[in-house]
Amino acid sequence: MVRRPARGSHHQRGSALAIALLTLLLVSLAIVVITVPLGLEIRETRRLGRDVRLTALADAALAEALGELAEDASFPGYDPYEFKNAQLESTVTASGFEKVRVVVSARYLGATRRAEAQVQLGVGGPKVLSWRRVP
């Protein structure tokens, strides 16, 4: 004997399929709503990390130039050189009696950070009079 499906069972299966598809759609939307802001947050975190590293590298280049100036007041600066996946350089120019202007540059991951310092040379070694970021 062949059994016939009960009345309405096709309708119930269709409803179950519609509910399953709607649930899948809602879960997919929830995943998109969660992952898009996370992607933006990750990019912002990477950019912030790069900027912090650039600032540290520029400060290191300035410290290095000051160290060289302590040894030799006629130090002209460093040509660009590689340092830990970055490129650093410095330029020292006279800007008055026993004063020099030191400009440093750090390049890392496609971005550049430049800084400038006015430095007093003298008996106690170089002394930073002012420091600023240069655009």
3: in domain: no
**pLDDT of residue 27 exceeding 60:** yes
26: in domain: yes
Summary mean pLDDT of the chain:
89
Q: Please give the full DSSP string across 57-75, using - where no structure is assigned.
A: HHHHHHHHHHHHHHH-TT-
pLDDT at 4: 60
The total number of structural domains in the chain stands at 1
Q: What is the pLDDT of residues 66-117, one digit of tens each?
A: 999 999 989 999 999 998 889 999 999 998 889 999 999 999 999 999 999 9
Task: Give me the domain span that covers residue 113.
Answer: 9-134
pLDDT at 39: 80
Closest of 85, 90, 91 to residue 110, by C-alpha: 85
Q: What is the pLDDT of residues 35-70, one digit of tens each?
A: 888 888 888 999 999 999 999 999 999 999 999 999
4: in domain: no
28: in domain: yes
CATH number for the domain that contains residue 43: 3.30.1300.30
Distance CA(50)–CA(89), nearest Å, equals: 18
89: in domain: yes
pTM of model > 0.75 = no
